[in-house]
Amino acid sequence: MQFTLSDIQNEIKENSTKLLKENIDLLDTIQKVDENCRIDENIWKLVLEQGWLALDVPESDGGLGFSLTDTAILSEVLGYYMPIVPVFSSGVVFKNLILNSKNDIKNSILPEIITGEKIGTFAIYENDKYLVDEGNTHTNLVESSDGYVLNGVKKYVMFGDVSDYFAVMAKHNESLKIILLSKDTKGLDVKETTSLDQTRPMCEISMSDIKIQENDIMIEPSDTLDVWEKVKNISLSFLAMEQVGGSQACLDMSTSYAKERIQFGRPIGSFQAIQHICANMLLQLESAKSVAYSAVRTDLSDGLEMEMSSLIAKSYCSEVFNKLAGDNIQVHGGIGFTWEHPAHLYFKKAKSDSLLLGTPKLARDRIAELLSL
């Protein structure tokens, strides 16, 4: 199925596909993963040269003023080729937090982020529940004689060891606040952790008696949860587009192998069992495209509709990517289980992506609430 794209959107997709196809070899990615590469500097440089991080930033804020859909198309292409770059953490989540921050923070930090001079990330979660509320936030902000003091630990911090800025969710009394920290903040410790998807390296950060001033608080406290929900919903939509791109790569890899691999004197794609696997992969992929594209085309001003569409996309696209990544290994047989074949990269990314910003089950639970069930 080919969704109707504008001329600009077609140009974005064609140019980004050409650029990444020419510069990314999945066998090289396997080697980089094996060497614990934390960021692919060459691909990151290409991303920045193309101005991709500024694409959907309003012109009044120094960006190019393109639409959410225009930019989300890049996520689909990035999901297909899986470069080790912090586009999602810095160019989607952190950037949108900055866009919704106080003017002094936005004006000073945003130019550095959209040019790639600096990298930002988000430090929100502390446990496997992936819930953002007072009960699941133990990072504490306590008033002191000259401001505040911050203590706590955050898990699942993407690209934390190469980031310059951290947006940290903390509890202050009975409310939540998002604090901006820089990498050289005294009392901040960043530690590499093992992550299933090594194309998106994770870290754990510890904060010990960090002094915080009022101008370090990114968002007005009364708006913190509303802003986080808005940013999360946008990010879930972009993540769904990444998952569609990864699912497409799995389908293309499977059908290509099914045409080439000869068993019993003929291509394995001529056997009905393989045909049905590939056909079902296509059916699920087209459904996932529908919900992902619907999510990124939703009017941002309609908060309820945006939340519902992003949750549907998160839940469904996560499950489709998981299924297609597994089917891809099945079609490849023994070679699909080896480290030397890139099928495992997509399988591990699919598993990891399904946990980002909350599990499919959490998304379905929230959908049920929105349906008043």
In a shared domain, residues 137 and 187: yes
For residue 284, the one-letter residue type is: Q
Supply the pLDDT for residue 373. Answer: 80
Q: In this structure, is residue 300 part of a structural domain?
A: yes
How is 319-349 classified by DSSP, letter by letter? HHHHHHHHHHHHHHGGGGGSTTSTHHHHHHH
Q: In this structure, is residue 295 part of a structural domain?
A: yes
CA dihedral (319, 325, 331, 333) in degrees, to 10, reads: -120
How far apart (Å, rounded) are the C-alpha atoms in residues 230 and 301?
Answer: 10
Q: In this structure, is residue 202 part of a structural domain?
A: yes
Q: In this structure, is residue 2 part of a structural domain?
A: no
Q: How many domains does the chain have?
A: 3
| CATH code for the domain of 200 | 2.40.110.10
Supply the pLDDT for residue 2. Answer: 56
Supply the pLDDT for residue 56. Answer: 95
* Residues of the domain holding 11: 7-118
How far apart (Å, rounded) are the C-alpha atoms in residues 292 and 129?
Answer: 24
Supply the pLDDT for residue 133. Answer: 80
Minimal CA–CA distance to 219: which of 168, 153, 260? 168
Supply the pLDDT for residue 5. Answer: 87
Residue 47 contacts by C-beta under 8 Å, 6 or more apart in sequence? 53, 83, 85, 87, 91, 116
Tens of pLDDT, residue by residue over 181-230, are: 999 999 999 999 989 999 999 999 999 999 999 999 999 888 999 999 99
Residue 32 contacts by C-beta under 8 Å, 6 or more apart in sequence? 40, 84
Domain final position from 66, 100, 118: 118
In a shared domain, residues 334 and 242: yes
Domain final position from 91, 118, 145: 118
* 211 bridge partner residues: 149
How far apart (Å, rounded) are the C-alpha atoms in residues 95 and 323?
Answer: 31
Are the C-beta atoms of residues 319 and 292 closer than 8 Å to each other? no
Mean pLDDT split into 10-residue runs, the chain, 373 residues: 80 96 96 95 97 96 94 97 98 97 97 97 89 86 94 97 97 93 97 94 97 95 92 97 98 97 90 96 97 92 91 97 98 93 96 94 94 88
Q: In this structure, is residue 1 part of a structural domain?
A: no
